[in-house]
A and B are shown apart, each in its own frame.
Chain A
Amino acid sequence: MTTPRRTNILGLIQHIATSIKDYWYLFVILLAQNGVPRIILWGGLWLMLFVFLIWPILKWVTLTYAVTPDALIIHSGILVRHHEHIPYARIQTLQRKQWFYLQPFHLEEVQIETASHEEGKPEARLAAVPLTVAQEINRLRQAAPVSDPSTPDVIEDVPVGVPPAHYQISLADLIKFSLTSLIFLPFLLVLLGLYDKLPHSWTNLLVNEASHLAILFLIGSLIIIIGLTWLVAFVGTLLHYYRFTLTRDGDQLHTAKGLLQRNTISAPLDRIQALRFKQNPLRRGLHLQTVQVLLASKAAAKDDDNDLTILPVINERVARDTIHPFVDWLPTQAPNLTELQVSRTWYQIRNAVLIILLPALLIAWLWPTIGWWLFPIWLIIAVAAGRFAARHTGGSRLQHDLLILQTGHLFTLDQTYVPLRNVQSVRLSQSIWMKHTHLAHLTVNVRRGNGNQAIRLRYLPQQNAQAIYDWYRTHS
């Protein structure tokens, strides 16, 4: 594999799909124009042919790669030629994506992320290559000495000879996970936004024809919209996380998931900055948790917002025991979070209400009929959210070098376990009014992707927050 070679011809589909995804709207605009001169139309069609077919073909033809003993080499570019050498030790995460149509041919897409600070796109992307390529890269990567000059502090000795560990999601768990997914909420908001954009004549017509049924109609359509978006989200999540598996071999963690597109991510264990246990309101009721790792690389950049999900859903009682074989610094007993518990709920409730007040007044002013009805609902939500945040803020020191922090933001419970060595800095803040009430805020900064994740615990007892701050200052 040391001589440069092209990716499989099926990779062309990927290139074409990318072109279409990037430029389709230009042609929709072009074709939507009425009375365009014939010449422009033809020009547009030729341009379309070029953009959607010829350019991807050229891209495919000019991209070659070679897996040499010390680096992955990629030549690319149509007009400007790029020659990229990626030493294996520099590879942070390897992502493999296999669309269903590639499976019979034993091909997959390989994406490689390095520490270079270019946001948004992977360092290298091979559209359709044999499965052996990723295996070979992984083998060479394990053999390569791990040395990453850009982030020397996050490197930690991994004990050799740790037993491999394996986990696979059960179908029942997967269904529970998909049922309790809240990702339909943003779609729902978009759809409700569109409803407002419907021509008024339509909605008026409907309402006029059956004015006594108007409320019924409104509620009915709302329920149908919620049901549909929820169903789409359910099926989407099910397909995305289908047969989720997590394995550990040596110092690497691998996750694999997906039905239509099998997505495999490999990340070194020593890149893990923190573990996060998340619980949305639906899953809270069912005592289910999602476990993610915060990585010091952009592993799953598009996928999970930099956080690699290592357990989509698990009963909260067995979560820590299940994770322990994969991440051995995680304690198995339930933590006691009282050290950093908020003593009074009033401040967070007040802040939540203040935040919602202006937008709520604005809505009431712009849509007076419905706005004033909604006003008390906003207030109730804000009070509940503030109360939830205050009741669920907590944290403590575990052992001598582990910090656990819990926050409750928008009814989502978030527990983060951070080894002290991965805390980059800690900030303690207090306003002059908080001096009298002996309260303080604590912000813990942890690396996440190539950026920073600030974990903010608000309105803590000053003495305990100060104790954590001093402990951190003197113990790292």
Chain B
Amino acid sequence: MTSTTHHLPPRIKLIWGLSALGSCAALVVITALLWLTYRYWDWPLWITIVGLIITLAEPLIEAGLIPYRYRFTRYQISDLAVEMQAGFIFQKRVAIPIARVQNVTLKAGPLLQWQKLTAVSIATASTNHNIEGLELAEAEQLREQIMRLAQEARHDNA
């Protein structure tokens, strides 16, 4: 089997955008609470202002980084290993030999479910590695493949 490098499905960008909105909403609530502490408990105003700045800046940065995040997040599966790659400024590559994979978990929150995507978590005896989102069919195929290869690898060892 040839190994090729894959990008995540493009719809993941939508999910990331929505989760940036979600963190915006959460930050708005926190800032509102901070404002209440200023109004009723006489906490200093600057705490609220800092909260407000974070509320504005964090989602913008998160949203702004989406194209970058998408472009440099990749994964690759060969007969021997699963590889994941992320980041450009801080580039990381991790290799997990198929023979070390203990289990593969697919999980999807409401957003991923709505987009028919799923996150894949690959566990070894000591570490966990995540692929943030894959097409459902692709993820299931990946799981089958890893589990099949893992079993073969184990038979080879025995």
Interface residues of A (CB under 8 A from B): 151-154, 296, 421, 423-432, 445-448, 451-453, 469, 472-474, 476
CB of B37, distance to nearest CB on chain A (Å):
27
In the complex, the chain B residue whose C-beta lies closest to that of A469 is B95
Pick the contact of B92 from A424, A427, A453, A472 — CB < 8 Å? A427
B97 within 8 A of A: yes
Contact residues in A for B124 (Cβ distance below 8 Å): 153, 424-425, 445
B95 pairs with A296, CB closer than 8 A: no
Q: Is A476 a contact of B88 with CB atoms below 8 Å?
A: no
User: A428 is contacted by which of B92, B125, B129 (Cβ under 8 Å)?
Assistant: B92
Could you give, for residues 112-140 of chain B, a 1 whenever the CB lies within 8 Å of some chain A CB and a 0 otherwise? 00000000000011110100000000000
Give the distance to chain B from A401, nearest Cβ to Cβ, in Å.
12
Residue of A152, A429, A472 near B95 (CB, 8 A) is: A472
The reply to whether A432 and B91 form a contact with Cβ atoms under 8 Å apart is yes
Cβ distance B67 to chain A, nearest Cβ, rounded Å: 17
Cβ contacts A to B, 18 pairs, < 8 Å: A152-B154, A153-B125, A296-B125, A421-B157, A424-B100, A424-B125, A425-B95, A426-B95, A427-B94, A428-B94, A429-B93, A431-B89, A432-B90, A446-B126, A447-B126, A472-B95, A473-B83, A474-B80
Which residue of chain A has its CB nearest to the CB of B86? Answer: A429
**In this assembly, does B102 line the interface, its C-beta being within 8 Å of a C-beta of chain A?**
yes
- Residues of B within 8 Å of A473, CB to CB, are 80-81, 83, 95, 97
Is the CB–CB distance between B95 and A153 below 8 Å? no
Number of B interface residues, CB 8 Å? Answer: 23
B99 within 8 A of A: yes
B92 near A429 with CB under 8 A, answer yes
CB pair B90–A429 under 8 Å, yes or no, is: yes
B111 located at the interface, meaning its Cβ lies under 8 Å from any Cβ of chain A in the complex:
no
Given contacts A425-B96, A427-B93, A472-B97, 20 further A-B contacts (CB under 8 A): A151-B102, A151-B125, A153-B124, A153-B154, A154-B125, A423-B100, A424-B100, A424-B126, A425-B94, A425-B95, A426-B95, A428-B93, A428-B94, A432-B89, A445-B124, A452-B126, A453-B126, A473-B80, A473-B97, A476-B80
Give the distance in Å from the alpha carbon of A154 to the alpha carbon of B89 in the complex. Answer: 36
- Which residues of the other chain, A, contact B92 by a CB distance below 8 angstroms? 427-429
CA distance A423 to B94 in the complex (A): 12
Closest A residue to B123 by beta carbon equals: A424
B57-105 contacts to A (CB < 8 Å): 80-81, 83, 88-97, 99-100, 102
Nearest chain A CB to B34 CB, angstrom units: 25
Q: Which residue of A lies closest to B128 (CB)?
A: A452
A463 CB → nearest B CB, Å: 15
**Top 9 A-B residue pairs of the complex, sorted by shortest distance between their CB atoms:** A452-B126, A447-B126, A424-B124, A476-B97, A427-B94, A473-B95, A429-B92, A425-B96, A473-B81
Which A residues touch B96, using CB under 8 A?
Answer: 424-425
B residues less than 8 Å from A426 (CB atoms): 94-95
| Chain B residues with CB under 8 A of A448 | 126
In the assembled complex, which residues on chain A have CB atoms less than 8 Å from the CB atom of B88? 432
Task: Name the residue on B nearest A428 (C-beta).
Answer: B93
In chain A, what residue has the closest Cβ to B82? A425
Set of chain B residues within 8 Å of A428, measured between Cβ atoms:
92-95
Assess whether A431 is in contact with B91, with CB atoms less than 8 Å apart.
yes
B2–chain A nearest beta-carbon distance, Å: 14
Q: How far is B152's CA from A163's CA once the two chains are assembled, in angstroms?
A: 34
Residues on B with beta carbons closer than 8 Å to the beta carbon of A424: 96, 100, 124-127
**Cβ–Cβ < 8 Å partners of B94 in chain A:** 425-428
Whether B100 and A425, one on each chain, are in contact in the complex, defined by CB atoms closer than 8 angstroms, is: yes
Enumerate chain A residues within 8 angstroms of B127, measured Cβ to Cβ.
Answer: 424-425, 445, 452
- With most chain B CB atoms within 10 A of its CB, the pick from A151, A153, A446, A469 is A153
List chain A residues, Cβ under 8 A from B93: 427-429, 469
Docked Cα-Cα span, A421 to B127, in Å, equals: 15
Contacts A152-B154, A426-B94, A428-B92 given: A476-B99 contact, CB under 8 Å?
A: yes
Known: A424-B124, A445-B126, A447-B126. A429 touches B91 (CB 8 A): yes
CB of A451 within 8 A of CB of B89, answer no
Which residues of B sit under 8 angstroms from A476, Cβ to Cβ? 80-81, 97, 99-100
Q: Once bound together, how far apart are the Cα atoms of A474 and B95, in whole Å?
A: 10
Q: Which residue of B lies closest to A157 (CB)?
A: B158
In angstroms, Cα B154 to Cα A423, docked, is 15
Q: How far apart sit A454 and B36, CA to CA, in the bound complex (Å)?
A: 44
Measured CB to CB, the closest approach of chain A to B1, in angstroms, equals 14
Expressed in whole angstroms, the Cα–Cα distance for A448 and B125 within the complex equals 10
Contacts of B95 in A (CB 8 A): 425-428, 469, 472-473
Q: Which residue of B lies closest to A420 (CB)?
A: B97
Q: How far is the CA of A447 from the CA of B102 in the complex (A)?
A: 13
**Shortest CB distance A443–B (Å):** 8
- Contact partners of A430 in chain B: CB under 8 A: 90-91
Given the complex, which residues of A lie within 8 Å of B129, measured CB to CB? 425
CA–CA, A151 and B101, complex, Å: 11
Q: Which chain B residue lies CB-closest to A429?
A: B92
Taking the nearest CB of chain B, how far is it from the CB of A203, in angstroms?
35
CB distance from A460 to the nearest CB of B (A): 14
In the complex, which of the residues B83, B88, B89, B95 has the most CB atoms of chain A within 10 Å of its own CB atom? B95
Residue of B nearest to A152 (CB): B154
